[in-house]
Amino acid sequence: MRIITVLLFLGISFNAGAQSLDDQFRELRDGSETFKVYKVIKQTELNAFWSVVTDSVKEVRSELAEAYLTIEKQRVDMSERDKTITGKDEEISELEYSASHISVLGIGMFKEAYLAISFTLVALLIAALVFLYGRSKTSIATARKKVQEYAKLNADYEEYKKDSLEKQMKLRRELQTQINKLEEIRSS
């Protein structure tokens, strides 16, 4: 019923020759004879009008079918464009992600965070190297001082040994001299 109403509405706007269907219907009605409350319409005129109506309906139906095809093509095109737009949006998202992130050991992180962590680690390593260098320098200085003290102590010990040996030899000689004197005294 709805299609017929639409077709009739559209049919009114179509021209059959110089007249619309509405004009032709009025002319058919007004040009027919009246018998009591009934209108007597010539069958040839009614057939001609019906032929025009049928042609108009066919034309409207073909235009409607073309419109449906056009709508369906546009729907398919829109669907394809939506898919393309979605794909492009995903590509843009991936590009934005890859532009702002970096993967380190399989972990995705912001490039700024990576730079901050890297510079912090480098700064900590440099601080550790400076600390270790200072400690090693201190340790080397302490070791040199201990080596010098050991060398001095060793030299003092060697000198003490030498002095002790000389004293001991001197004492032995004196003892031997005393023993010799004692033996001379005894032997005499």
Residue ranges of the chain whose pLDDT lies below 50: 1-17
Task: Give alpha helix (H) positions in the chain.
Answer: 2-13, 21-31, 43-100, 111-187
Structure tokens belonging to residue 97: 């992600």
Backbone φ and ψ for 32, nearest 5 degrees, come out as -90, 160
**Closest C-alpha to 17, from 49, 64, 58:** 49
pLDDT at 26: 84
- In this prediction, residue 34 carries a pLDDT of 81
Query: What pLDDT score does 100 carry?
Result: 84
pTM assigned to the model: 0.44
Distance CA 167, CA 177 (A): 15
- Asked if residue 111 lies in contact with residue 101, where contact means CB atoms within 8 angstroms, the answer is yes
Neighbouring-strand partners of residue 34:
39
Query: What are the residue ranges spanned by the domains of the chain?
Result: 2-100, 106-188
**pLDDT for res 7:** 42
What is the DSSP code string of 22-73? Answer: HHHHHHHHHHSEEETTEEE--HHHHHHHHHHHHHHHHHHHHHHHHHHHHHHH
Pairing of strands 33-35, 38-40: antiparallel
The reported pLDDT for the residue numbered 14 is 44
Predicted local confidence at residue 18, as pLDDT: 53
Q: Write down the pLDDT at residue 11.
A: 47
pLDDT at residue number 151: 94
